[in-house]
A and B are shown apart, each in its own frame.
Chain A
Amino acid sequence: AQSVAQPEDQVNVAEGNPLTVKCTYSVSGNPYLFWYVQYPNRGLQFLLKYITGDNLVKGSYGFEAEFNKSQTSFHLKKPSALVSDSALYFCAVRASYSGNTPLVFGKGTRLSVIA
């Protein structure tokens, strides 16, 4: 079975400070890992993904994420937060061997960036 945990329901950070949104996963074998962002009253937008290769993945809007196999984590980071980054963030996983199975999503973390 595949699962994702986002241990924080809410993350608050001051504008200009670095931000981290945490994600841990559980799959058998190698994972494909994704981050999505949802702005109010909108659908989910793809931010970045890890498939293979370099553990540090760069994505849209200055976000990046680090894959850590030993800790089974894929935390989302940004060096300097903007008020416009305030949104709901979802981590998702799929095992690389799993064929046709869809992504499994975490429950989401609400990021609030305070000016």
Chain B
Amino acid sequence: NAGVTQTPKFRVLKTGQSMTLLCAQDMNHEYMYWYRQDPGMGLRLIHYSVGEGTTAKGEVPDGYNVSRLKKQNFLLGLESAAPSQTSVYFCASSRTTAGGDEQFFGPGTRLTVL
């Protein structure tokens, strides 16, 4: 049981390049989330999904797109990377949000945009 995995672990992009971050979970969770972590800012929600084929905007969605074509995968895309998107990106999943289910986090992807 691998839990939540993220690919890649590290990436360096030039301004304007595009890339996709992959998140996979093997816990059959309905809900998945993408956060970014910046020093002094804590965790900020980018987008989330409440089930296969659904997505919703979080606190900081601009410049990102997401897709949830399969229940176990949640993709985060950057169409034209900017230096402001340099950050550590975390994916998380949860069984539900009802009943106080906790979120399980992946190990993170460290992205640098030059």
Asked if B48 and A102 sit within 8 Å, CB to CB, the answer is yes
> Is there a chain B Cβ closer than 8 Å to A100's Cβ?
yes
Query: Which one, B48, B58, B105, contacts A44 given CB within 8 A?
Result: B105
Which residues does A use to contact B, with CB under 8 Å?
Answer: 9, 32, 34, 36, 41-46, 49, 51, 90, 94, 96, 98-103, 105-108
Contact with A along B22-57 (1 / 0, CB 8 A): 000000000101010000111101001010000010
Closest CB of chain B to A7's CB: distance in Å? 13
* B residues apposed to A, CB below 8 Å: 4, 31, 33, 35, 40-43, 45, 48, 50, 56, 58, 90, 92, 97-100, 102-108
**Complex contact A43–B107 (CB within 8 A):** yes
Compute how far the CA of A29 lies from the CA of B103 in the bound complex, rounded to whole angstroms: 21
Is there contact, CB below 8 Å, between B97 and A49?
no
What are 30 of the A-B contact pairs (CB < 8 Å)? A9-B40, A32-B100, A36-B105, A41-B108, A43-B4, A43-B105, A43-B106, A43-B107, A43-B108, A44-B92, A46-B102, A46-B103, A49-B102, A51-B99, A90-B42, A94-B100, A96-B100, A100-B31, A100-B56, A101-B97, A102-B31, A102-B33, A102-B48, A102-B97, A102-B103, A105-B42, A105-B43, A106-B42, A107-B42, A108-B43
